[in-house]
Structures are given as C-alpha cells and as structure tokens.
Structure 1
C-alpha cells in the first residue's frame, strides 16, 4: 500500500479568498489557487489542472508497463489530459477527462496497441477514481 499526501489552506472566503497547496514531495510548495486561477486565467493552479496532470501521468505509466509486459522494450508516450468542469445546479461537476496520446512503439501492430491502450485507460488508478466519462484519442507513429 502506498499513501501520499497534500494539504491546502484557503484564507478569506468565496471569490475573495486565496488558497495555497503543498505536497509532501515539495513539488507544490505554497502553489496559489483560488477563484481567479480556476475561472479567470490568473497565474496559479486549480484542482482540475492537478487532476489532469495526475490522469495523464497515471495513464501513461500504466500503458508503459502494459507495453513492457507485452515484450516491448522501447518507445515514447506523450499524453495530454483535458479535464472538464461544468456547472451542475448550484455546484460544479467534473464531467469528463479526455486523453490524447501520441505514441512511438517500434514493432507494435495497431490492434495490439489499441488493446493495451484501452486496458490502460480503464485500469489506471486515476481512471478508476474518476466518476466521469473518459475518452482516449491516440496516434501511433512509426
């Protein structure tokens, strides 16, 4: 079992409040977030950006291990995740995460790659965590 941690502080309330996020690893160290970073393009991060980063990283690692398990020893995987936040009554809901993958895996055929990528999409821990639609669009390059 692996446990990771992060913490957040929000000073002030609502739109006027300002938050900061810390991770145990130090990757985020008082990283600002708030209404402005979430909805108005101000510098800083927001929860959906962090979810997108986690999903892209998790899916890409899962696919890397699936490819290695299938006997492939070389390749490059580049994934972008786009997480969508939509108004849902009086609150908001993450409605989807769209994965866009560009891959180079010498010697793999399209059918095998599609199967492994689909399995990684369904099986990565962050995909399992998300309660939303997840799409995968990929390009397999020579």
Structure 2
C-alpha cells in the first residue's frame, strides 16, 4: 500500500504560502504558511498533520489490540501533542480517554503501551513518545 500527499509552496519562507493536498482529497489545497506554523494564522501546518497522523494511527492500533482480547469498545479518544523546539520535533505525547467494557486498568495500560510501540506512525518517528491513558 502506498499513500501520498502533495505540498506546493510559493515565495520565501516568511511571507510565502503553500497548499497541501492528500490523495483522498480530505485535504484539498489546504492553506499553510509561516504564520500557521509559528504564529496564529488560519490554516494547517506540518506538526498539526503529524499529530493527526499519530493520534489516528495509535487509536486504530489500540482498538485492534483491545478487540483481539474480546473487549467491547464504546469509544477511544486520543489527542496528540507534537513538541517542536528549535526546528526539531522532540516529542509526541498521546492523551487517551477510553470507554471499554470489561477491561481492567492494568490490562488497558499494557495495551496502550503496546499500541504506542507498535503503531506504524510511532515506528516512523525518531523522537520520544509518551502517553497518559484514562478509562472513563
């Protein structure tokens, strides 16, 4: 399986702007710029997209591991915070809240760690990955 996305940039880094599109067209010429990355501009930025990818991948992987154990998932919600410092992503932090029938907190935490280590996006990153997970 291969997926793709395309970025087009016009101008210099500070005053220019770009557009990002995905193969699925979920993003179709989504605007990004220096302001959307480092200030409060309207649009997206690479770190936000990386956070979305990690949250989505991790949540699906966690769902698979929980399902393999026969538990019923009502909902898993994951927020991912990407930390960019001096041009380097130094961490990805996952904040997980889940409603799952019949799972112990100990087993849930074990599966969170397993998903954190095994989702394809986690494997892609060369950064520290942390999480905090709560059953609600």
| TM-score (structure 1 length as normaliser) | 0.93
1:99-138 mapped onto 2 (5 Å cutoff): 99-138=94-133
Deviations 1:84-104 (CA, angstroms, capped at 9, x unpaired): 1110xxxx1111000000011
Structure 1: segments with no counterpart, 5+ residues: none
Aligned to 2:64: 65
Structure 2: segments with no counterpart, 5+ residues: none
Contact 2:91 2:129 in 1 (8 A): yes
1:10-29 mapped onto 2 (5 Å cutoff): 10-29=9-28
Q: Secondary structure at the match of 2:77?
A: strand
- Distance in 1, Cα, partners of 2:89 & 2:124: 12
Contact 2:32 2:45 in 1 (8 A): yes
Q: Does 1:39 align with 2:38?
A: yes
- Distance in 1, Cα, partners of 2:6 & 2:73: 37
- Distance in 1, Cα, partners of 2:52 & 2:80: 7
Q: Where does structure 1 differ by over 3 angstroms across 4 or more consecutive aligned residues?
A: none
Aligned length: 136
Q: Secondary structure at the match of 2:29?
A: strand
- Distance in 2, Cα, partners of 1:116 & 1:71: 13
| TM-score (structure 2 length as normaliser) | 0.97
